[in-house]
Chain A
Amino acid sequence: MVTGIDVVAPNGIGVDEYWTSTLDGRSGIERITRFEAGQYPSQLAGEVNGLVPEEHLPGRLLPQTDRMTRLALVAADRALTDAGVRPDEMPEFGIGVVTASASGGFEFGQRELQNLWTSGSKFVSAYQSFAWFYAVNTGQISIRHGLRGAGGVLVGDQAGGLDAVAQARRQVRNSTAVVVSGGVDSSLCPWGWVAQMASGRLSTATTPARAFLPFDTDAAGHVPGEGGAMLVLETPGSASRRGAANVYGEIAGHASTIDPRPNIGREPTLRRAIETAVADAGLVPSDIDVVFADAAGTPDLDRVEADAIGAVFGPRGVPVTAPKTMTGRLHSGGGPLDLVCALLSLRDGLIPPTINVEADGGYELDLVLHYPRPAPLRAALVIARGHGGFNSVMVVSHTEP
């Protein structure tokens, strides 16, 4: 079960602000301010500008952390506080950490590369040895709180975040009492930016409201963002023993697949991932009351996703939404943020909207557009896909009393 959550998102810091903004359809996508982006064809991003992580972390951690680690540490701190978990009161190996990362510490790495090439190897920070590394968020969270249970990292671009929570669920089922999970990414620096543009999937629109339009006839790319979410997963026994104050729901099912190579006549495997995740939850498709789409925002990928959803749930067979239209695609943070959003939807019986999109109808999706839709929600399906063919699908549901 999920007993603690926190969010660091371009349209809200903390769970309440994020949820309120999301229900209001408020977007955090703007022209980039973090670096000089005017020279690039893509100039918009979802920046986290409402939080100064340096104000919340000890000075000792600052020289050795990339921005994405600072954001992750703040989110993990707050998720643990939200859960009411006191590591010093838990068994020594009782709390694990499994996070996802898609880019590692790009901004830190760019600076050190610049030091290397302008000044020489003696000017590269010793902290580069780990500050760039995908597993560093897991490591720093674990060190900061003394969490000595099983630890790990999953790397699968945007799909990795759900894979990390799935791995956390495996560990909890394997009797680790508590596992901190989720993902936070940030690669809003020139080096990170050109790396993303090389995918050919970034929007070049200059107006935020016209830039990220999944399932729309004008879909022409996505907008990246920074941030993500952290979740505390726990066994029912542990939660009950310590009187956990919050129970947000269950990670009920999961499946991940990888697409076959293109042009060999085999189908993408997203449909199978959806069916397997639903079955893993002990459910059937009609039990799912909302789908949080991966929402790639390019026509070819939108078509694959819409076809898979339609094949499993029938044409317009389930409400579909993409609140990431308000944040951009957050790499490893995207899946966990959608999970938190799904849990809050279940809590409040409200499906958050997809903004800026006018459905083109050709996809036969029941898109929730512009305004939140009240609905009785028993279970939600969250889809996350990563560059290179990663598909990860998760089901969340209420916790039975």
Chain B
Amino acid sequence: MTIDDMLRILRVSAGDSDDVNFDKSIVDTEFEALGVDSVALLEVTAQIEREFDVDLERDGVHGGYTPRQLVALANVR
């Protein structure tokens, strides 16, 4: 899974907002700061699991994660 996959999934599953563009500049920003709330994060993580057939143990993923960290987690699994 790549950063580009992550950004694409964010755009589709969380949706672009007026304030935040899901581009490479935000890969180290925490999800909570990006306005990705707990349900949106659940959906983003679920989408990664569907696409890449991994089990991310979603309960462990929280708003303090950054996109880069989530990609790393997916690639470890």
Contacts and interface: CB of A to CB of B under 8 A. Distances in A.
A64 interface: yes
A81 B55 CA distance: 46
Contacts of A241: none
Contacts of B42: 126
B39 A63 contact: no
A129 B46 contact: no
A129 B17 CA distance: 21
Number of chain B interface residues as a range: 10 to 19
A126 B46 contact: yes
Contacts of B40: 60, 63-64, 126-127
A129 B39 contact: yes
A133 to B, nearest CB: 12
Contact of A122 (B13, B39, B49): B49
Contact of B43 (A58, A61, A62, A126): A126
Contacts of B50: 122-123
Given A126-B42, A126-B43, A58 B17 contact: yes
Residue from B13, B17, B39, B46 whose CB has the most chain A CB atoms within 10 Å: B39
Interface in A123-180: 123, 125-127, 129-130
Interface of B: 11-18, 35, 39-40, 42-43, 46, 49-50
Given A59-B15, A63-B43, A126-B46, 17 more contacts: A58-B15, A58-B17, A59-B16, A59-B17, A60-B16, A60-B17, A60-B35, A60-B40, A61-B15, A62-B15, A63-B13, A63-B14, A63-B15, A64-B15, A122-B49, A126-B42, A126-B43
